[in-house]
């Protein structure tokens, strides 16, 4: 109870409102999430992490706000942020349905269409607890190879999560990135870490996106992440997206290329078979 009392006091100090009750929220191994009931009747959620990396929560808040500005996929409103925590509106969970999935596909297309100034972002960020280099580059192939793949290849080899042979396969794909990337597209406004755990199927009939690694990127990246780890009614999402914002020919064959980054991040953070899966994705991209 002392921890919950401390969490409530922290929220009260940031919001200038009283907290009536606190309830732990299950799930998530990076931050502690707590549901708050406020004295003005609203619900909120506070995320905390002791000794969070500098800028961890501010970058998340900035990403949420930037995605919200697109007017597409629903994003919880940021109520307060500090170096040690983030407070957002509470989203009441509901059940995944085909109709909600279709709406989300169209909304995600709207978010991507909002675009970005460049490939990258003004500030570096995080994906999970891993650092996310965002320094802009003029084209997506350059950005993807230099900011999304090669830093994690080096880190995975250092952690013995990737063999030299596996790294060589990925490096070969990166040398051919301009051939593999498909038709050039302008920077899209992407979530950047869009796996099913970062979708909240709300009781209001919308899908809400959370925990972004937002930046200007390639829109196929978000679709590849959804496809990598699966999502409820995934095909309905993809079909609705493609109807609202048609994809370039061969996009499905390029999914393994875009999946390289999340697989490498998982190899760095968790080890296991993710390094081998990353090398297999690179080989699939080379063979497409």
Long-range contacts of 18-23 (CB under 8 A, 24+ apart): none
Checking DSSP bridges between strand 130-132 and strand 125-127, what pairing results, if any?
Answer: antiparallel
Q: Cβ(175)–Cβ(39) under 8 Å?
A: no
Catalytic residue IDs: 193
Residue (of 52, 43, 11, 59) closest to 211 by Cα position:
59
Break the chain down into helix, strand, coil percent, rounded to 5: 45, 20, 35
Q: Cβ(258)–Cβ(220) under 8 Å?
A: yes
**Residue 67 backbone zone (phi > 0: left; psi -120 to 50: alpha; other: beta):** alpha
Helix, coil or strand: residue 93: strand
- Side-chain half-sphere CA neighbours of 85 within 13 A: 22
- Side-chain half-sphere CA neighbours of 148 within 13 A: 31
CA distance 261 to 171: 13
CA distance 145 to 274: 18
Q: Cβ(184)–Cβ(220) under 8 Å?
A: no
How far apart, in Å, do the first and last CA atoms of the chain sit? 55
CA distance 216 to 118: 6
């Amino acid at each position: 109870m002392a921890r919950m009392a401390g969490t409530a006091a922290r929220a009260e100090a940031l919001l200038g409102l009283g907290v009536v009750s606190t309830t732990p929220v299950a799930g998530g191994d990076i931050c502690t999430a707590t549901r708050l009931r406020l004295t003005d009747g609203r619900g909120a959620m506070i995320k905390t992490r002791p000794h969070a990396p500098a800028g961890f929560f501010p970058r998340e808040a900035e990403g949420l706000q930037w995605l919200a500005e697109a007017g597409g996929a629903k994003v919880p409103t940021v109520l307060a942020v500090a170096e040690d925590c983030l407070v957002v509106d509470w989203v009441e969970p509901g059940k995944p349905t085909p109709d909600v999935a279709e709406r989300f596909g169209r909304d995600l297309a709207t978010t991507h269409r909002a675009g970005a100034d460049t490939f990258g972002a003004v500030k570096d960020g995080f994906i999970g607890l891993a650092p996310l280099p965002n320094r802009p580059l003029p084209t997506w192939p350059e950005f993807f190879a230099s900011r999304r793949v090669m830093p994690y290849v080096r880190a995975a080899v250092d952690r013995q999560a990737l063999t030299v042979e596996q790294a060589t396969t990925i490096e070969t794909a990166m040398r051919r990135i301009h051939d593999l990337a498909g038709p050039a597209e302008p920077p899209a406004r992407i979530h950047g870490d869009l796996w099913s755990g970062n979708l909240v199927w709300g009781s209001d009939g919308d899908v809400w996106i959370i925990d972004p690694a937002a930046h200007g990127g390639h829109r196929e990246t978000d679709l590849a992440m959804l496809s990598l780890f699966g999502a409820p009614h995934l095909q309905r999402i993809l079909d609705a997206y493609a109807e609202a914002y048609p994809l370039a020919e061969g996009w499905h064959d390029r999914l393994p290329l875009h999946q390289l980054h999340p697989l490498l991040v998982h190899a760095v953070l968790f080890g296991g078979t993710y390094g081998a899966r990353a090398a297999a994705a690179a080989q699939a991209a080379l063979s497409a």
